[in-house]
């Protein structure tokens, strides 16, 4: 844990990593507390109707042990001399999701968090690439999996929390007959535990493989972004899905590590009113609220009258402006701390309002325990203050990924050597001021940041090309006041197809149904000719200019209408 201090340098100087040789995430976030304080509250599970059920650490331990025994009985576990079996977890925020992660870790398996809004193409790639042997899901997820299952030779077993169907086993039934005791596998801190797929600009999403130590690596960033977590009375929630690193390793696992209760909520639809009501009803004191959620909540009228007084709110994914920070103070009763990271190396930069005033436009300082700086990506040398460069993290680092799954070339390309050592390149651009604060400028690739998600254009373009009317497709981000950006698709049609509003809607729905709801193009525009380089690559810069001009025109029309 970080030791509170008066300044960032004081906290940094007092911090030392303590990474044991043997360490298991499941034991840490569950069994540890079940032994110390069995009745301690772990999960508050709130369903779509608002009904809440509470689970203690002792219950979480018993449930995860029964699942671990059931999975082990069916041949799942850690391979001799190799990585553990991969287990997909295709569930929303609910107690079974936490149970599944704990059980997989205690078995020595590798959990693959899967977003519930993923379509068949996204699921097919992740499960096929990882050679997952099992998936734990609900009925909605099962309906997506059943048509894919025959094409996934490694996928042997599916467990459904809503009961047996279509060859899937009843999650509750298989656990019911098992013992509540289980001896966890003795994993090393360096053993792989999580495989989280992240989008890039070329090819399919890559699987970032993380070791058990990744949770320990997250702790300083989580603690400082929440003004020295934990404090008496803390209670955590995030609208971010636990399938993403922001929900899983910024909230669920760190909170349970510290014995803090986590609210799991399955909104039928996220609305500002529902979020405020959840915070008030369940006494939530700490939250990770992505910028899109904050912007939506800011639109709620009379929110100041609620009299909320949270202890901490952290946000990451894009820079927060003055207005949003001021709104947080008025409505939530806190100064929102901004943090920075990515799937491969998360929570490495943060602000901390308890140590110094938050500076709008700055994402904060390097978190104690991490070395983050602005470098020249070619030479690996640090650049001068206020000079733009690549945001990079010095290796080795406990929070840093092990590798891209079965992709040594991409893994090697992620690093550059310099005079100070080996740097991990985040793919983002930034600057450093004279005081050491870091400022995010943007990506040096074409990944789209939308509503807190990172969306790779290549995956969306591949899906678009599967539509019978599409000959060429280019995808970029179009500026959006609420989401930061939305996916915009520029399409050249095949012969015999005519551009129309109806066809644009059909193409958008096609991607939404096949890929994922958060990745589909909300804006589809037709071009006679695609801007291309002489080597046949799409010139996305020109497409971005079109999207930015359209966004400006829409903004001007809105202003004139007022």
Please check the confidence at residue 201 and state whether its pLDDT lies above 60. Answer: no
Average pLDDT value for residue range 521-541: 84
Its sign, for the CA torsion 372, 373, 376, 381, is: negative
Tokens of 357: 């005033």
**137 or 300, greater pLDDT:** 137
Angstrom CA distances, 370 to 260, 301, 539, stand at 25, 41, 36
Closest CA to 320 of 288, 352, 362: 362
pLDDT value at 145 more than 60:
yes
pLDDT digits (tens, 9 = 90+) for 90-100: 999 999 999 99
Residue 317 falls in which region: left (phi positive, over 0), alpha (psi -120 to 50) or beta: left
The answer to whether residue 251 scores a pLDDT higher than 90 is yes
Whole-number pLDDT of residue 535:
53
Query: What is the pTM assigned to this prediction?
Result: 0.88
Q: Is the pLDDT of residue 133 over 70?
A: yes
Q: What is the pLDDT of residue 123?
A: 97
Give the tens place of pLDDT for each residue, 373-411: 999 999 999 999 999 999 999 999 999 999 999 999 999
pLDDT by residue (tens digit) across 56-77? 999 999 999 999 999 999 999 9
Domains of the chain as residue ranges with CATH: 19-212 (3.40.50.12780), 448-561 (3.30.300.30)
* Ordered alpha helix ranges (H), 226-271: 245-247, 253-257
Q: Give the residues across from 364 on adjacent strands.
A: 438
Around 545, how many Cα atoms within 13 Å sit in the side-chain half-sphere?
Answer: 5
For the segment 521-543, the average pLDDT, to the nearest whole number, is 85
Say which range, 7-21, 263-277, 388-402, has the weakest mean pLDDT.
263-277
């Amino acid at each position: 844990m970080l030791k509170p201090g008066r300044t960032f340098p004081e906290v940094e100087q007092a911090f030392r990593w303590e990474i044991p040789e043997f360490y298991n995430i499941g034991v840490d976030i569950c069994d540890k507390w079940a032994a110390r304080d069995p009745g301690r509250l772990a999960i508050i599970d709130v369903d779509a109707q608002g009904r809440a059920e509470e689970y203690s650490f002792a219950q979480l331990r018993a449930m995860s042990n029964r699942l671990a025994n059931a999975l082990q009985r069916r041949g799942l576990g850690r391979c001799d001399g190799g990585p553990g079996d991969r287990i997909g977890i295709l569930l929303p925020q609910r107690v079974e999701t936490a149970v599944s992660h704990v059980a997989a870790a205690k078995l020595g398996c590798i959990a693959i968090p899967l977003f519930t809004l993923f379509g068949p193409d996204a699921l097919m790639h992740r499960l096929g690439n990882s050679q997952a042997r099992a998936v734990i899901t609900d009925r909605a997820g099962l309906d997506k999996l059943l048509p894919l299952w025959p094409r996934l030779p490694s996928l042997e077993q599916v467990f459904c929390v809503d009961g047996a169907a279509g060859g899937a086993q009843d999650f509750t039934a298989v656990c019911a007959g098992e013992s509540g005791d289980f001896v966890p596998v003795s994993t090393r801190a360096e053993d792989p535990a999580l495989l989280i797929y992240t989008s890039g600009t070329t090819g399919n999403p890559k699987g970032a493989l993380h070791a058990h130590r990744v949770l320990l690596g997250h702790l300083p960033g989580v603690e400082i972004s929440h003004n020295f977590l934990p404090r008496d009375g803390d209670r955590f929630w995030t609208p971010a899905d636990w399938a993403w690193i922001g929900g899983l390793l910024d909230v669920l696992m760190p909170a349970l590590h510290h014995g803090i209760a986590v609210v799991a909520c399955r909104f039928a639809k996220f609305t500002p009113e529902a979020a405020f009501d959840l915070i008030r009803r369940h006494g939530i004191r700490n939250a990770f609220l992505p910028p899109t959620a904050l912007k939506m909540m800011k639109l709620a009228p009379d929110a100041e009258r609620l009299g909320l007084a949270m202890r901490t709110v952290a946000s990451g994914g894009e820079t927060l402006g003055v207005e949003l920070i001021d709104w947080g103070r008025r409505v939530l009763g806190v100064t929102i701390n901004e943090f920075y990271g990515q799937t491969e190396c998360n929570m490495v930069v943060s602000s901390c309002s308890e140590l110094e005033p938050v500076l709008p436009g700055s994402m904060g300082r390097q978190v104690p325990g991490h070395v983050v700086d602005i470098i020249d990506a070619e030479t690996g040398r640090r650049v001068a203050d206020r000079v733009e460069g690549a945001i990079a993290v010095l290796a080795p680092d406990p929070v840093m990924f092990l590798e891209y799954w079965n992709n040594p070339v991409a893994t090697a390309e992620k690093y550059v050597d310099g005079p100070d050592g080996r740097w991990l390149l985040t793919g983002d651009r930034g600057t450093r001021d004279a005081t050491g604060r870091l400022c995010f400028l943007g990506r040096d690739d074409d990944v789209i940041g939308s509503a807190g998600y990172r969306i790779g254009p290549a995956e969306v373009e591949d899906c678009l090309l599967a539509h019978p009317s599409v000959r060429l497709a280019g995808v970029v981000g179009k500026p959006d006041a609420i989401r930061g950006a939305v996916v915009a698709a520029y399409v050249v049609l095949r012969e015999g197809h005519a551009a129309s509003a109806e066809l644009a809607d059909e193409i958008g729905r096609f991607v939404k149904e096949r890929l994922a709801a958060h990745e589909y193009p909300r804006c589809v525009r037709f071009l006679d000719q695609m801007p291309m380089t002489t080597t046949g690559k799409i010139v996305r810069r020109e497409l971005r200019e079109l999207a930015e001009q359209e966004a400006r025109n829409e903004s001007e029309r809105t202003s004139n209408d007022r």
